[in-house]
């Protein structure tokens, strides 16, 4: 059991998935708990924090030579969240997150 846990701890893909889940499901709940409005959630969470994380995800996957498919984790979790509780504009945001991750992924060199 300990060996299995060490493999999960060492997996960067697991970290990507967990951070994505926190950003997509937990952060909107926190925004509601602090009584921040819908416009603040859209601006700060969907445009600032998530776009920053998308760029970071592209850089992170390139730096640690992770599979290109790790870039899809965050947008897919975001689409699931949008399907459950947000408006249709979220589908476009998932595309923007994916494109930004891919651009940053190819921008940075593996060697650096």
* In the predicted structure, residue 102 carries a pLDDT above the cut 60: yes
pLDDT of 111 higher than 80: no
pLDDT of 29 over the 90 cut: no
DSSP of 11-43? -HHHHHHHHHHIIIIIHHHHHHHTT--HHHIII
Residues 73, 18: contact at Cβ < 8 Å?
no
Looking at per-residue confidence, does 110 or 66 come out higher? 66
| Tokens of residue 63, six digits | 């730096």
- The domain segmentation of the chain, as residue ranges, is 14-107
Question: How many DSSP H helices and E strands does the chain contain?
Answer: 7, 0
User: Rounded to an integer, what distance in angstroms lies between the CA atom of residue 86 and that of residue 57?
Assistant: 23
Residue located via tokens 């689409």: 79
For 48-95, how does the pLDDT look when each residue is reduced to its tens digit (9 = 90+)? 999 999 999 999 999 888 888 999 999 999 999 888 887 777 789 999
Which residues have a Cβ under 8 Å from the Cβ of 35 and sit 6 or more positions away? none
- Sign of the CA dihedral 84, 90, 91, 96? negative
């Amino acid at each position: 059991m300990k060996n299995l846990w060490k493999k999960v701890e060492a997996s960067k893909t697991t970290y990507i998935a967990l951070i994505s889940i926190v950003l997509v499901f937990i952060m909107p709940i926190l925004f509601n708990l602090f009584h921040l409005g819908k416009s603040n959630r859209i601006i700060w969470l969907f445009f600032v924090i998530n776009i920053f994380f998308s760029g970071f995800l592209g850089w992170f996957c390139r730096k640690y030579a992770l599979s290109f498919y790790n870039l899809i984790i965050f947008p897919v979790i975001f689409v699931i969240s949008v399907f459950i509780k947000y408006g249709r504009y979220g589908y476009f945001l998932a595309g923007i997150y994916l494109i930004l991750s891919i651009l940053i992924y190819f921008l940075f060199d593996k060697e650096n």
